[in-house]
Amino acid sequence: MVDVGDKSVTKRVATARATVVLGGEIMTELRKSGFTTGKGSIVQTAIVAGTMAVKQTWSVIPLCHPLPINGVQLTVEELDDTTLEVRCTVKTEGKTGVEMEALHGASVAALTVYDMCKAMSHGITVRELGLVSKRGGKSDFDHG
């Protein structure tokens, strides 16, 4: 684990995204049902799962520091006729960034969408997990 003891406490924000390619047929069915399956609301369940994942990142990724999380914003929205996009933004004030927390939240939310929809098809794919932006610390990053 990296020693962050000498670092300054700063405001830190990171956003990550993942896409879930469901296909046109599944998206049509989901729109008809209000994005609900037999398991419940896809969007709300993914948001809760992603938020829980953010808060537990340190216990899943071996060398991550446990961090106080000041805020999590998770969205699940239609990207196009076949794909949902998950975005996870995490905020903290601390000595280390929240990139891993944002990535973990986005990935678990995307996997939850898969789990909620897998009865409709196992051809669903989770793609393009990546960091969109980060602010705070010694450098900023913006991938758009």
Domain CATH for 71: 3.30.70.640
Task: Based on the residue annotation, tell me whether 142 is a catalytic residue of this protein.
Answer: no
Domain-embedded: residue 51? yes
Domain-embedded: residue 72? yes
Domain-embedded: residue 31? yes
Please tell me the total count of domains within the chain: 1
Domain that includes residue 61, residue range: 22-136
Q: Residue 88 contacts by C-beta under 8 Å, 6 or more apart in sequence? A: 15, 16, 17, 50, 54, 72, 73, 74, 102, 103, 105, 106, 109
Domain-embedded: residue 10? no
Domain-embedded: residue 54? yes
Q: What pLDDT does residue 128 have?
A: 94
The pLDDT profile of the chain, 144 residues, written as one tens digit per residue, is: 787 877 888 899 999 999 999 999 999 999 999 999 999 999 999 999 999 999 999 999 999 999 999 999 999 999 999 999 999 999 999 888 899 999 999 999 999 999 999 999 989 999 999 999 999 887 888 986
Q: What pLDDT does residue 96 have?
A: 85
Domain-embedded: residue 40? yes
Domain-embedded: residue 1? no
CA distance 94 to 12: 7
CA distance 43 to 50: 11
Domain-embedded: residue 12? no
Catalytic hit among 6, 80, 81, 115: 115
Q: What pLDDT does residue 54 have?
A: 98
